[in-house]
Amino acid sequence: MGVARIGILTVSDCVAAGLHPDVAGPAIRQELGRMLATACEPIAELVPNGIEGIRDTIVDQVDVEGCDLVFARGGEGPGFCDLTPKGTEAACERMMPGFGELLRMRSLGQVPDAFCPGTRPASGGAPWSSICRVTRPRSARCSSP
């Protein structure tokens, strides 16, 4: 059995434009290192909000990079420009209703702001892979145009 390849997708207009550093991607990588009993190979990507870009990046992480699991973070708020759930759904062959809510509820005891009614988690699967949305409230430092 080889090393698990895990996709980490940060979705942010501000980070993609170079206005802010990517703190979500490195935080996910750090948590994976802390939580996993074996080594993994993280495949990190950064894209602005947009259904096609999110979909295409997730599909590339699964089909080309061979990721066993993809974590996507950002763009899950209630705004019209927050498109990560739709991009995630477009990349998945089947959705896993309730899984994102389960993850959010489990993290509530560890991260006080993990439950935010305005966020929209989405989780699903593609052949041989799972795709999870990592949900945290949107940063107040950046609003999309």
The pLDDT tens digits for 25-62 are 998 899 888 888 888 999 999 999 999 999 999 999 98
State residue 73's pLDDT score. Answer: 84
For residue 37, count CB atoms less than 10 angstroms from its CB and return exposed for 0-12, middle for 13-18, buried for 19 or more. exposed
Residues in the chain: 145
**Confidence at 138, pLDDT banded by 50, 70, 90:** very low
Nearest to 60, CA basis, from 46, 48, 49: 46
In degrees and rounded to multiples of 5, residue 86 shows phi and psi of -70, -40
Query: What's the CA gap between 51 and 122, in Å, rounded?
Result: 13
Query: What's the CA gap between 72 and 70, in Å, rounded?
Result: 6
Q: How far is CA 140 from CA 77, 102, 137, in A?
A: 11, 25, 9
Query: What's the CA gap between 75 and 139, in Å, rounded?
Result: 10
Report long-range pairs for 37-43 (Cβ below 8 Å, ≥24 apart): 38/3, 38/4, 39/3, 40/3, 40/4, 40/5, 40/6, 41/3, 41/4, 41/5, 41/6, 42/6, 42/7, 42/8, 43/5, 43/6, 43/7, 43/8, 43/67
Q: What is the CATH number of domain 4-134?
A: 3.40.980.10
CA of residue 50 relative to chain centroid, distance: 14
* pLDDT one-digit tens code per residue, 65-103: 988 888 888 876 667 777 888 888 888 888 777 776 776
